[in-house]
A and B are shown apart, each in its own frame.
Chain A
Amino acid sequence: MGLFTELKDSISRATDRLFSDQDPKRIGIYGPPNAGKTTLANRIARDWTGDAIGTESHVPHETRRARRKENVEIERNGKSVTIDIVDTPGVTTKVDYEEFTGEMDEEDAIRRSREATEGVAEAMHWLREDVDGVIYVLDSAEDPITQVNTMLIGIIESRDLPVLIFANKIDLDDASVKRIEDAFPQHKTVPLSAKEGDNMDEVYDNIAQYFG
């Protein structure tokens, strides 16, 4: 793509965001597999709409299609912010069907891995084309400095999307929020446990502030 075309597209994206205040912003929930993205999406959706978005599971790649929950109205400090939440499949650079064979038969494992690869590609496409902001979810008990995290944060930054990092699973014994803050000091990190509902007030304050 030529320099001029890239600049034009970039300006077009920025103006689209600036002048689309009347439409709910689409906030993509991104992160590696098993970080708790769907648990978080369900927590937010249940708290503000009463409905869930998707099925939660300890098996990686349970979410294999991006799913959108529209018009989630979050009220903070007397104001309301309306967003669309897009729960995306966990991003990875590799998928081996054998990692599922302990949980299901080979045929189902192969089908799951094929759907998982399609889901990752779909998530990347949404990130390039269709989200206005990103909630990046990390498991606080895992090392955040992985290639996938570094690449995805770089891709989000290159598109000038507002991003919040959610340090999830703070209820686990090995959780370290500081490790995540140190890995990505350029971004706001919010600790939480989506599963237990810990620190959700701060979560909603920040969503309203960053994406409102």
Chain B
Amino acid sequence: MPKATNTDDPEGPDGVQIDLISGERMAEMATMEKIRMILDGVHDGNIVILEEGLTPDEESRLIETTMAEINPDGFNGIEIETYPKSEAGDSSLLGRIMGTNDAEAKLTVIGPANQIETLHKDETLISALVSRN
């Protein structure tokens, strides 16, 4: 499977790379593969957009793995935004038992905490400011 990579230009890219990952591609991956792909992209300064987001359990493991990789010399974590749930209790019982969130799969934006700032978020709109560090 091809890997999304930043330019090899030693001066760095003249812009911010955005990786849009389809739900189809994510469906083939194990939890840690997804997390590794997201964090590798974020470490490279990319903005990662997931078409269908992560399950609650995957989000929990993403936070845990992110915390393990924070260091004072550079990486200080991630900014992550998903649309808030539009209706209370809209996930299926089976989905909740299984820890999946198919009923709630929502576009998710993830980036380096020092490069992305959420300006506005509601149930239908996420507005973010992305800066080149």
Contact = CB atoms under 8 A, between A and B. Distances in A.
B67 interface: yes
Contacts of A159: 56, 99
B13 interface: no
B68 interface: yes
Nearest to B108: A147
Kindly state the interface size class of chain B when it binds its partner.
35 or more
Provide the main secondary structure of the chain A interface: helix
A127 interface: yes
A130 to B, nearest CB: 13
28 contacts: A3-B98, A6-B98, A10-B97, A10-B98, A10-B99, A92-B77, A93-B80, A94-B70, A94-B76, A94-B78, A94-B79, A97-B76, A113-B72, A114-B72, A117-B67, A117-B70, A121-B64, A124-B61, A147-B80, A151-B56, A151-B59, A151-B60, A155-B59, A155-B60, A157-B56, A159-B56, A159-B99, A160-B97
Interface of B: 31, 55-57, 59-61, 63-64, 66-68, 70, 72, 76-82, 84-85, 88-89, 91, 96-99, 101, 104, 113-114, 118, 121
A124 B63 contact: yes
B78 to A, nearest CB: 5
A151 B99 CA distance: 13
Contacts of A55: none
A73 B19 CA distance: 52
A157 B60 CA distance: 12
Interface in A109-146: 110, 113-114, 117-118, 120-121, 124-125, 127-128, 145
Interface of A: 1, 3, 6-7, 10, 91-97, 110, 113-114, 117-118, 120-121, 124-125, 127-128, 145, 147, 150-151, 154-155, 157-160, 183-186
A93 B35 CA distance: 14
Contact of B99 (A96, A97, A158): A158
A186 B59 contact: no
Given A93-B77, A96-B113, A125-B64, A160 B57 contact: no
Nearest to A117: B67
Nearest to B126: A147
Given A121-B64, A121-B68, A157-B91, A150 B99 contact: no
Instruction: Give the 5 A-B residue pairs with the shortest CB-CB distance, closest first.
Output: A94-B77, A94-B113, A158-B56, A186-B88, A117-B67
Given A120-B64, A121-B64, 10 more contacts: A94-B70, A113-B70, A117-B67, A118-B67, A147-B118, A150-B84, A154-B85, A158-B56, A158-B101, A159-B56
